[in-house]
Structures are given as structure tokens and as C-alpha cells.
Structure 1
Amino acid sequence: MEIKLPNSFWDCQHYFKVNLKTIVPIVSFFLLMLSSTSVFAQGGGTCADIQPFCAGNDALIFANCNDQDPNCNATAEAGPDYGCLFSQPYPAWFYLQIDQPGNLDFEIVQNTAFNSNGDPIGQGLDVDFIAWGPFQPGDDLCDYTQLQSFNEVACSYSAQPIENFTIPNAQTGEIYVLVITNFNRSPGYIKLGQIGGDGSTNCDIVFDCSVTINEGDQNLCGEDEVLLTTTISGPVETYEWYLNDVLIVGETSSEYLATESGEYKVIANGTECNSPVEDIVNVSFGPIVTAETIDIIACDDSSNDGFEAFDLDGNSSRVLGNQDPDEFTVTYYLTQANADAGEAPLTSPYTNVTNPQTIYARVESNVSTVCYATSEVELKVEETVEITTDLPSSVDICDVEEFPVFDATPTNTDIDLSLVTYEWVDQDNNVLSTEAIFSPSAAGTYTVNIGYPCGDTSFTIEMMVLASPTVDLGADFQICANQTTILTANTDVEGVTYQWYLNSTLLEGETNNTLEVVIEQGTMGTQTYTVLVSNDQCTAEDSVDLTLYPITNCIISEGISPNGDGYNDILDLNFLNDRTGIRKIQIFNRFGTLVYEQDNYTNQWEGQTTDGDELPTGTYFYVIDLAGNDAVYGEQATGWIYLNKKAN
């Protein structure tokens, strides 16, 4: 028998603790906690390894330190005043913090086994303890000068397997230190729990597990995904991910690749945490935003003071560029800092305070307001400019002429032509061109709208297409020398004037629609007569070529010599056919025999019979029936002609 002496007679019971040294069967199994108990690793073996404890809904059951565990400290460290504990074998260090004030009653049980309800079912083992306090948050709990008798709360060195103690009148925030020892030194388990009192302990110091989504809230512009990673204090058994409080099925790892905007929550279940822990972040995906740098120009009024009201909102589309105005909002600010912060926006219209003045535009995504861009906006007040051009107000052209080309380029010498814009429209306001130079394709009213800072203007041109007269002098023809011929200008309009030309030389005084023409014998070459018809706006002309017949004086020849020399080879009656028309010619020999006959004759006879046989040299007689009454020959011409074949 070992006598266990008290360390402090005024604070401890006096008794003998009997060690029967009997072999205590060690139960080789342990039932894990179900609903009323929690099983944890043993407390700290030294004060430096002190573990937090709280008396929550479940009692704390932990494996004791014993002489079978080489990792355990066989005795407590020196330094503290252990009070009634004559020996301190295999200590377990704990601390607790007060939550609700009042008295707190605790029970310590050491046994070789506990069931799932936390009840001892094995052999009881002698357990002892000492408690110190109170300490305040921030105090060094391992300051041995404070772990002394003046801070001792309770102590027991009894031989019982069950110990009880009370912390009286505990106050919120106070901290108490507890050392539990295994006098038996045998393997087993210790149960520590609160069994009464109106005070409570703070479980936050024990169950201080936390999970953090490392990336925090994410506002992403121009990106479509972000990897969310987690950090947790303590081992984790499971993870669950939620988007807008809806479970993301199948996502059970510590990471999640987010591709949608919304609230992401991770719930982590830790093996040493009292309850699942969670963290929430908000992820927002937005577009890339751009803001165009622009100038806004206002035209000064008659005061010419350099200050005008600017329609900022009316220029937002220019700041947006190609971005959808339904998806972005444009605001304006006096400073870059305000534009970045989105604070103190300007109202539209805005009157400048200097000329020029720089303000700042902010383009913000309606989907994610953190996605924005800024740009400078230059406000300028400029004097009014009067644009001038060389454009006519009206143009008349003839229908045979090409359409004119209009050039709307300003003739001002003091403007920047690169800033000029053009818009040609017809009378129905249809846009025809946006270039300075324009050529219409039909009659009508044409307007060019010229844009220029403080010089917008327009010019209108009335263009008419006039019908040109037509004139016809007929086909070219031959005439007889010294014979008067009348040329007639046939036109389709009235009230026109005429001018006649011979071989491009104006015939003075010839202003009628007819012209008497006489070509003298011996005139060489073609004589070209031209008439110019005018109705004061449009003109038309026509020409006719006249040549003399090769028959001198236009008489019927009295002989031919068809020898192929090109002179006097045929009986040429073209002049007579042109003048009157020839129905038929008949040629007889001197015996009155018809040897040749031809209807619609012009110049076919060269001394042959009707059948094409050659006739001999000699005198022949002709009868020519005319189509009309010729001025010289009447309706029929008769006479003789000598055929000379001797030249062959």
C-alpha cells in the first residue's frame, strides 16, 4: 500500500490512497461519440502545450497519458505550486474561458472504457486535479509565478476515479487553468464536463475552426473564370460549394473554378470542429470597358465670351464608341479622381468655366459597376464660321450634254478642311454621297449639308435637263454642176434659229431652214454643208456632203468606150436616176432590134446584150422611160449612143 500525502493540509483532504497493484484488465476497444460525448486527443503534456476546453453540449473524453505511452511526460514540470497534488504523474493541461457569469460545477471521471453515451463501463482509475485562476485575456497562462496557491481554485488528491469541483462566481472573460493527473499510470480515458451551475464556458476558444476563401470578393473585368481556393484551420473531412445558396452537385474539393457571377459559399466539416464552418464571397464577371477621348465643341453666341452650355449626354454615344448603350452608363466629372471614384457627377447641360476645359468621362458596365474606363473630354467654345463655296444655285444642261460635277469644298482659307463633313441629299432627303465632289444623274433639287465646328451650313442647287432640238439634212448626195439644189433643215421644234456653214465657214445671212446650193463646174472634192439649230439654250447640228456627178453638165452621153480604163466605160445615168428615177431603159441596134433592156437602170450598160454578150462597135439607139417628169427630158428620153469597141 502506498500512502498518498496531501501537499497542503488546509486545502486538501487528508486520506490514504491505496494502490492494490492488482492487474487491471485493459479494454482494447473504445466506443466513439454519437450524440452526447466527444472524444479528443489528450490535453497538453506541458503548460506550453496547454489545450483549450469548453463545457458545451458534450463532455470531453480523451485518452489519458500513461506509462505505456512513450510520448507522454511521466511527471508535471517544476515551477507551479501544485497544491494538494503530492505527485503529478502523466499530467494533462487545459484552460477554459467564462462565457456566462455564475457558478460552474465540473466532474472528472477516469476509466478504462466509456460507452457511446459517455458512461464509464470499465475499471475506474484514480484521477487527481488542481485548478488556478482567474486570469485575464492576454495573460501568460504559463507564468509559474501566477500558478501559485494564491490563485488556486480547487485541488483534489483523493483515490477516487471521480472528482468534482466548482468555480464560484466566475465572470465573463475570465480564464482558468486545470491540470488533471493519472495517479494509476494505467492506460484509460478521462471524461471532463460541466454538470451544473448557472455559468457557462466560451466554446469559441476550443471550436475555433474557420474556413477562408482566399481570393475574397472578386470583381473581374474581361475575364470569364476565377479559381476559388480555401484555407481551413484544422483537418477537413468534406467540402460543399454553393452558388446563390444552391448546392453545386459534385464539387467537394477545397477548390472551385467559378464561371458565373453570384454569391459563392463553401461549407467545410472539420474533424476537430464543433460544427461546420463556412465562408462566403461574391464574384462578379464584367466586360472589358473602353472610353473614347473626344472633343465637344460649342459655338459661341453673340456675346463672344467663350462660355456655353454643353450637352454632355448628347455626346455619350461618342464616348461609348462601338459599345452597346443599353449595357453601359456614361457619366462626367470635373476631376480624374472623381471619375475613378464615381463621385460628384456633372449634370447635363454643363457650362464650362474655362475655355478650353478638360473634364472626364466614366464608362461603367451595368452588369458589374467595378468594370469601368475613363477618358478625357475637351470642351471648346469656338467662334461661328461662315462657310463659302463655288457651288452655283442653279444649272441648266441639255440632254445631250454630260452631267456636271459639283465640288462643295469650302473656299475659306482659314479653316481646317480635315474637319469638314459633307452630305449630299436629293429633294426626298435621301443621302446620295458623303464626299465633297458629287455628280448627279438626273434633273432635280440637290442639297449639300456641310458640317464644320461652328460653321454648319447647306447649299441647294436646282438642276434642269433641257430637251435639245433635232435636225436632219438627209443623206449625202451628188448634184449636177451649176444646178440649183435646195437643202432643207428638218427639225422637231419651233422658234429655233439657223446658221449654215460651208466647209466650216459661216455663210453670212443664211438664217432660214432652207439653203440654195449651186456647185460650179470644175469644183473639186466634197462640199460639206452644215446647219446649226438653236433654241437659245440647246443646239443641234447636221451635215451633208455634196459632190458633182462625173457626167459633165449632167447630160446623157453620146458614146462610151468600155476598155477598163475607168473613163467613159459605162452609160452612167445616176444623175437622172437621182433626179427623176428610171423605170426602164431599152437599147436597139441600127436595124431596130432590141439588144439590151434593164428595169430601174442606173449605170449597168457597158456594151453588152441583155444576155451578157458583147455587142460590136457601132451606133445604138436608146429609149429611157423616166419615173417622173424630168425638167430636161420630160417623161421619156430618146437618142443615140456610139459604142466604141476598137479600144479593146
Structure 2
Amino acid sequence: MKKTSSYNGIFVMVFAIMLLAANNLGAQVLNKPVAADNPNLAGNSAWTAACASDSFNEYFVNFTWNPPLVDSSNEFVLELSDANGNFGSPRELARVSDKNTVFDFEFEFAVPNDVRGETYRMRVRSTSPAKTSPASDPYPMHFVDYGDPLLISQDGSGDIPPGGSIQVCGGGDITLIPHNIPNRDTYIYNWYRSGTLLPEKGASLTVSSPGMYYVELDYGSVCSGSANTLSNTIQISTGSSLGIAINGSNDVGLCAGDAYALDASITGMGLTYTWYKDGAVVSGPTLEGSTYNINTSISGFDGSYEVEITGAAACLERSASVAIRDLGDFEVTRQNDAAIVLLPSQTTTLGVTTTASSPTYQWYKDASPISGATNSTFNTDQIGSYFVRVTETGGGCSASPKDSETTTIESPDSFEFEVDYVGAYTSCQSSDATLNLSKIYAVSNSGSKTDVTADLLSSFTYQWRHESADVSGETSRTITISNYEDNGGYSLEGTLDSYNATSNSLDVTLSTNISLAISSNGTVLCDGADPIRFDSSESLTGETFEWLRDGTVIDSSTESITAVEVGVYQLRILTHDCPIVSNELTVRAFDESLLSIDKGDNLIIVEGETETVTASGAESYEWFDAANNLLGSQDSFGFQQEGEYLLVANFGNCSVSRVITVEYRDLFAIPNVITANGDGINDLWILPNTYSRKDDVLVTIFNERGKQVFSQTNYENNWPQSTTQFNKLNMIFYYRVTRGGESLKQGTITVIR
């Protein structure tokens, strides 16, 4: 057997030397990849440019390499450079692991959807051994993600002019932008003027020279044409600004029937004129129509007028506006409320404003003029119906007087209050509530209501009432209720002179301050255990109450209940305005899985160290050793000694036991060489803790002839006890470690002197 092992070792060594020699004869050669024919397409020619899209993205490259063979775990990876041919951050295109014995094959790949450039290169990398091929020749590669004709317009507005012609005036310029492509700024463009490629490559082109302009997406020398993105054409022409204006004043006042014509400042040049009023065309376009007559006999002739010209000798140009005003028209605007409630002894002021240039005023009460009331404002303490008549006395125009809107002043028949909650309030949830007077209404004989809050808020005296009884000391506009014993309806009364006002009633239902809690002697149901009993923290005598399980009433007469089913238990007292609800207690069915520990049942620790095990899920814990000694009652315990331990976890009246076995970890292997020379270093054969000092472990040592020279249980790491028994420089011994007759370890020990 020994000779066979020696021969095997020699064979492995010779094989390794031969393999090393073979590898030194040469290394793999990875050749540069080249474009290849697509076997799925007709024809037999390699691609010269990759113009990929969503509808087609299938390309092949050919790759060859030379032996020796690569490792069986090798993968060939096809990589792509950046647009400039650099491999600083290569991108993986394809990867194969089944070509490690194929020296000529094709990679299939798809062009990434953000690739756009003319000088991309590819290379192939092997993973085992790690080698990289030379880079391929440069190839144009473009992913054509937009392949529709572009549409260009001025400033990208989407408004393409009729005939596609735009005139640039007075040495100005315009900007052309494609308006139908998403994310347009992420592309490169080819702009053309009358067939000549321009140097600009961005998404916009500012032009001032005449010509025919169009654009396409730049997908390179090959792919641009196949993408079919050529846009519409915009014809740019140039012209001069003539400075058109309307003669005369830019602010003209006219009376009805006046004759007035607007005249353009430029005439006699064969121009076409279009007249505008308030932005809308009122005349034209008319050749040589340089005059516009305003018809002042119609209502609404006033407004803002402009003229626009166009022609072969001029740019399209619009004048500044001229304001035409109707001197016989004016407005009267009331400055007070339409209805006013007036208390006895109060005075109110009525007023208007007007656009008349020289107005006169006459106030009327109940359709009769008021003597001496000839100002824009009028003070009165009388009820009635009022308006003012305004007459224009200036401007040279005859105009009819205008009456203001009518104001009705009336005395109240009664007053009403409106009260509301202040801030957030929720019935049976809020612990306090604030009520406040929000509105005061004056009610007329006809029943109409007028908000007079701002006028009379400080005029009334107030009294809050609770369930029709006065609340002592609560005489302000606001009241706060903070005791649930004061629940009920609240209203506010007020007095002003001979008037008495009453508010609506608001219900206040505050939560009680009683804290209801239920408790139990356990929460886990198990066979043979004591019943789980629920008790209330509050006496239920004289109360209307409900015991609930999972939201369903199960008892309404017993002050303490016993749980016979799993579920969520709760108590509710109904006697008060708001139900008092207790906490919830969940009763679970007993299950040993309720106990969990953060370590396994078998622990291996290093001698001298501590391993802590933490339990969870139970209500209490007890840790015992093999002699049934209580070691601890916390949820965790730190183990330092080998042995078997017991964890008892209590769930109310139920318990779960878990046995935990602790063993020491060996920090070293069984040595096979010792130096018995008496220097105190490695003189003894030291076994790991697993096998030493064990009453049930037998250690036996034999010499090279098979004679037993040592046998001991509870081995004390004390062999050899003397160095004189070794009569040779190097002696070989055999050992066997057994437990109960079963072999645990065996091997050789070489003793060197």
C-alpha cells in the first residue's frame, strides 16, 4: 500500500511537470473580431455599418483563436468600445461558455440603444486564462430610435407657415427647431441650407440669411439616410422694416356721430393694409387701403386700433396702437353693499365712483330726489331705497344721465346668531371643545338675512346656555367645555337694545377620563392548564357592558369571563354618553413554535469564551444544567461549559422545553510530528479538547511493528513521558482514538530527536 501511494505521487508529479512543459510551449492567440454575414438574411456579405432599430437588431462577428486549449471554465466575452474606439469602460455585447474547443465561431449581438458613433471597435476577452484580443477595425454603429420625418417650425412652436415661407425683417433672425421629436436635445442633427451641410449639430438653428432650410438626425455617414428623418423645408426670405405708424394722436376722444379717419403713415408703395380693433380684424387685407373710417354712430366704436402692412418691398409689420375713446360713455360704480340693515340711532354712508370727466350727482330716496344730496357720497339714518343719478357735463358730447345700482336700507325685524366649533372636534374622542359666535344676521320683515357681524359683534351682551339653562360666568362670545360631565347641547343668547337673539344649538359629547383596562392570568390556551380568566380594572356593578371576542359580543352579564377560544378580547362599558373601551388582549393557541431562540440547539464554543443564547416569544424563562440546577431566569443565558442544558419557556399556564447541547471547538488539528529532544518545545503529543481529558475516549499508540506502547482514557496530553525510549533519530508510531469501540481518528506520529 505504501509503494502504491508513492507511485501515485510520482505519477502526479510527472503529469504536472508534463503539463507545465506543455503550457510553456505557447499561449493562446486571440485574433481580432471581424464583421460577419447574418445567416438569417438573404445574401452572403458581412455588414459594414450597424444601423440598428427596434425592428431590426441582429448582428454577427467572426472570431478565431489558436491553441493551446483554454480552461474548461473559460468564457469568451465580446466587448464594445466607446464612440471614439477607446476601451476605458468597455461594454459587454455577448458572452459564450460552450466554445472552449471551437477555434472559429460567430458571436451574435444586439446594438445597445444609446450607441451612436462612427468609430466603434470590438474585442474579445477570455476569462480563464485572462487574455484580450486586438481591437477590431472601426465600424459605424447607430441605434436608430427615431425614424420618422422631422417637422421644423419657428421656435419649435409647431406652427408651420402657409407655403413654408418665413420673412426675416430689419436684419433680425429667427430660430428653427424640430417640434415633433421627444427628448430632442439628446440627438445630433445635420442642418442644411439650400442643399449645403451646415456645421451646426444642435437641436436648434438660428438663421438670418435667405435660403431653403431643412434638417435630419445625424446617424452617421451610412445610417442617416436609412433612418428617413429628413424634415420639411422652411424658405427664409429677408426684407426691410418701414416703420409703419398711424398718423395723429395715440389717444383720441370722440362723440357719437363724429367723423374720424385713421391714416397709415406710409402710402403709395403698393402695400397691402389690414386694420385691427382690439386685436380683431375690422378691415382688409386691402391693397393700398391706407385709411380706415371709424363709424362712431354705432355702440362700442371705442377701442384700440392698429394697422398692419405687407408687400414685396416691405416686411410684415404692425403699427403701435391708437386708443379711441367714447366721450359720451361713462360708468357708475356703487361703493357700498346692496342691502344695509340700519339700527335706530345708526348712520350709514352711501357712495359711488364714475368715469365721467365732469360729473354732477343727484341722490334719490324711494324714487324721489333728496334736496341737497349732490355729492358722490351721502350719509343717512333713514330706511328706504336709494340710488344716485350721474350726468356728464364735460367733453362736448350730449349723453343721457346714468343711475347707479339701488341700495336698500332697512331696519331689522330680529337678529340671529350662528355658533360653530373652533378647531378640531370629534364626538366621543375629543377631551375638550371650544364654541364660538361666528355670524350675526339681521333678519328683515321679509325674512331676508344680512350678515352684520363686523358691525355689531361688540354691541351685544352675551349669555351661553347649557340644556336651556344659563352657564354661570360664560358671557363672552366663546366658551370651552373640558369636563365630560358637562356634555349636552349648547347655545348662545344675546341682547341689544330691545332685540334678543338666539343661536343654533351645538351638541358637545366629550370622551370620559375613565381608563378601562382588562387583565388576564395568561394568553395561551393549552390542554390541562388552568383556565384563562379576564378581569376588569373598573367595577361593572350597575353598568351596562359588553365582553367582545374578535368584535362580537360574547357576554353582557358576567364581570369576569373565562376564555375558551382563541381571539382578541375586549371590554366595552355603554352606560356613559360615550362608550368606554378597554385595551385588547389576544389569546393564542399553544404552539411550540411560539418559542424561538437566536442560536441552534447545538452550540460549539471555544473553551474559555462565552456564547449567549437569547429566547423570545414567551412570558418567562428558566435555564437548567444537566443536574437540574436553575442557572437563570432571564430571556438569555451565556454558556461557557460543555454539556447539556434545558430551557423551559412559560406561556402563562403552558410551557415549552428545549434541550441545548454545548461542545468545545477544536482550535488545532491532531499533530503528526513531535520533537522529543527535551527542549520543552513540541516535546509532547497534544490532542485537541475533543479527544483529550475524556473519560469515554481511549487513546492507543503503536510502534512501527504494531506493538502497543501506550493506551489511556482521559488522555492528559502526556505522551511521551520520557525521551530515552527513542533509540533512533526519526521513529514512526501509529495512533488510534476510539469511543466505545468506535474509531474516531487514526494516523501516524513521527518523533524527531
User: Which structure dedicates a bigger proportion of its chain to strand?
Assistant: 2
Decide: shared fold, TM above 0.5: no
Provide TM-score, normalisation by structure 2: 0.24
Provide TM-score, normalisation by structure 1: 0.27
Q: Greater relative contact order: 1 or 2 (C-alpha under 8 angstroms, separation 6 or more)?
A: 1
Which structure has the larger Rg over C-alpha atoms?
1
